[in-house]
Structure 1
Amino acid sequence: MAAGQNCLVTNDWICGEYLRSRSQELTDATVQHIWITAVSVVIGLLVAFPLALLARRSRRFAGPVLGLTTILYTVPSLAMFSLLLPLFGLSAALVVTGLVLYSLTILVRNILAGLEAVPQEAKEAAKGMGYGPVRLLWEVELPLAMPALMAGVRIATVSTIALTTVGSIIGRGGLGNLIGDALPSFFKAQVLTASVLCVLLAVVADLLLLGVQRLLTPWTRIRAVRTGADTVAKAV
């Protein structure tokens, strides 16, 4: 115990006593970080999907939609939160709304790219079988666009995990709160632990979403296996 307490006194980067004594604080901050990230990405996806459909429908809409989402992504986070402050006050909604706006440029572009990459012959075949626009979208286009869509979700999620820390300026930054609180006194163990947890969250989230992508697109695994088999056969 004396050695553990000593690492706090000497302000070491790695300190087991800090992890033991602040475990609940670390857990609460991590849960808040996950909650803000998940809500932001889900809402961003719900907003981005109709925007991508609108952009695909006509070039007249594509320019404004892609331009607006790009402009939003270039706005500095502090300026974004300041602009949203009169609407949401110092609340979690302020952070979530800002993160949703930042995620749109990634999600809209990936969804649009996935839908536009669907082979024309696949759409024509579905129309020949009597598929209407809605059924064509949900049963043909969306499944074939899933790899690009999930790639966008993965990028947006990792980006949102990083940007969530900025919410610490209003006390809604998850692990960013711990980093912000520790910087003035340069509390090394807290800075390092919170930073490492942010990185771990990003890695775990990306791996989980990759697993979901593989489950939703089993044909890509079959294609990869066939490609590998063809390569081996040619080598032989």
Structure 2
Amino acid sequence: MGVLGDAWTWLMTGSNWSGESGALTRLGEHVYVSGIALALACAIALPTAFYLGHIGKGGALAINISNVGRAVPVFAVLALFMLSPLRNAGYVPTIVALVLFAVPPLLTNAYVGMREVDRAVLEAARGMGMSGRQLFLRVELPLAYPMVMTGLRSASVQVVATATIAAMVGQGGLGRIITAGFNTYDTPQVVAGALLVALLALVVEGVLVAVHRVLDPSPSPAAVRATVPGARDGAADKAADSAGGDALRTDDALPQDRVTKTV
């Protein structure tokens, strides 16, 4: 508890949050770099995955090419960019490296989600006269939505965690807190920086989970019960069965002559 307690003290010290090198500034830099990288990765990966998944061709090749980004260490890519003319382009090297890292999970999950849509459902939609655009927007995309969001959550957490390497080449972000702690042998500061990165990743994960639930196109059980008559926990069906059984038992209990008169 000694190091954790000292890290908590560091986080609770106001002077560590203010100024150009304060934690608040570093947090803003981290969010900025991660957000730009994730937005660019989505702009590249999702349209490609949706198109290839819709036509059903070229997906395996695209996934294999994108997986090169997983095989190459992000720090190695960033180091190569820092040796190029891009080294004086601000955050561009870091953003490009993070984009290459974020594309594979986005592309793979979105493509798999599109291809896992039940073929029978697609044929039924075509039989109803849906165009290719309608088929994509009304059938394929809603059914692939859970896999797309899974890929987005995975890529987001990975980008937030990996963006700390920007500090290794002198750029901003929460990684600067960690590297500054290493340089001054300040272990509580190192732990505090790591905790901030972990907390930010958890917050991003929680926000995306909430967005997933809010935007989920599949109807909830409550909506189904409200829309379909008698679907409320099967209460109507049970009541009908019970009423029918009671009626039968009542008829059985009547004398034969009364049953005849009733008929």
- Give the TM-score taking structure 1 as reference length: 0.82
Instruction: Report if the CA contact (8 A) 2:142-2:218 is conserved.
Output: no
| Residue 152 (structure 2) aligns with | 153
Structure 1 residue identity aligned to 2:213: R
| Residue 168 (structure 2) aligns with | 169
2 CA distance for matches of 1:68 and 1:99? 16
Instruction: Report if the CA contact (8 A) 2:114-2:141 is conserved.
Output: yes
Once the two structures are TM-superposed, the CA of residue 51 in structure 1 deviates from its matched residue by 2.6
**Are 2:77 and 1:80 equivalent residues in the alignment?**
yes
| Residue 107 (structure 1) aligns with | 106
Once the two structures are TM-superposed, the CA of residue 135 in structure 1 deviates from its matched residue by 2.6
**Over aligned residue pairs, what C-alpha RMSD do you find?**
2.7
**Are 2:56 and 1:62 equivalent residues in the alignment?**
no
SS at match of 1:15: helix
- Cα deviation, 1:124-166, whole Å, max 9, x if unaligned, reads 2332333222232122211111100001100101111110001
Once the two structures are TM-superposed, the CA of residue 87 in structure 1 deviates from its matched residue by 5.0
Shift of the 33–127 alpha-carbon distance from structure 1 to 2, 3 Å rule, reads same
Q: Which of 37, 41, 49 is equivalent to 1:52?
A: 49
Structure 1 residue identity aligned to 2:32: W
**Are 2:89 and 1:128 equivalent residues in the alignment?**
no
- Cα deviation, 1:66-108, whole Å, max 9, x if unaligned, reads 1111112111122211333325224211111111110111011
Structure 1 residue identity aligned to 2:187: K
Instruction: Report if the CA contact (8 A) 1:146-1:216 is conserved.
Output: no
Q: Which of 38, 58, 68 is equivalent to 2:35?
A: 38
Once the two structures are TM-superposed, the CA of residue 16 in structure 1 deviates from its matched residue by 4.9
| Residue 17 (structure 2) aligns with | 23
Once the two structures are TM-superposed, the CA of residue 192 in structure 1 deviates from its matched residue by 1.8
Shift of the 140–16 alpha-carbon distance from structure 1 to 2, 3 Å rule, reads same
2 CA distance for matches of 1:43 and 1:31? 18
Instruction: Report if the CA contact (8 A) 2:74-2:98 is conserved.
Output: no
1 CA distance for matches of 2:205 and 2:176? 23
Shift of the 16–178 alpha-carbon distance from structure 1 to 2, 3 Å rule, reads closer
Which residues of structure 1 form unaligned runs of 5+? 1-6
2 CA distance for matches of 1:79 and 1:16? 32
Structure 1 residue identity aligned to 2:46: F
1 CA distance for matches of 2:115 and 2:27? 38
| Residue 141 (structure 2) aligns with | 142
Once the two structures are TM-superposed, the CA of residue 200 in structure 1 deviates from its matched residue by 0.8
- Give the TM-score taking structure 2 as reference length: 0.74
Which residues of structure 2 form unaligned runs of 5+? 226-232, 239-263
Shift of the 170–186 alpha-carbon distance from structure 1 to 2, 3 Å rule, reads same
Once the two structures are TM-superposed, the CA of residue 63 in structure 1 deviates from its matched residue by 3.4
Q: Which of 60, 64, 71 is equivalent to 2:68?
A: 71
Larger RCO (CA under 8 A, 6+ residues apart): 1
1 CA distance for matches of 2:11 and 2:37? 34
Instruction: Report if the CA contact (8 A) 2:17-2:24 is conserved.
Output: yes
Once the two structures are TM-superposed, the CA of residue 12 in structure 1 deviates from its matched residue by 3.9
2 CA distance for matches of 1:18 and 1:170? 28
Identify the structure with the greater helix proportion: 1
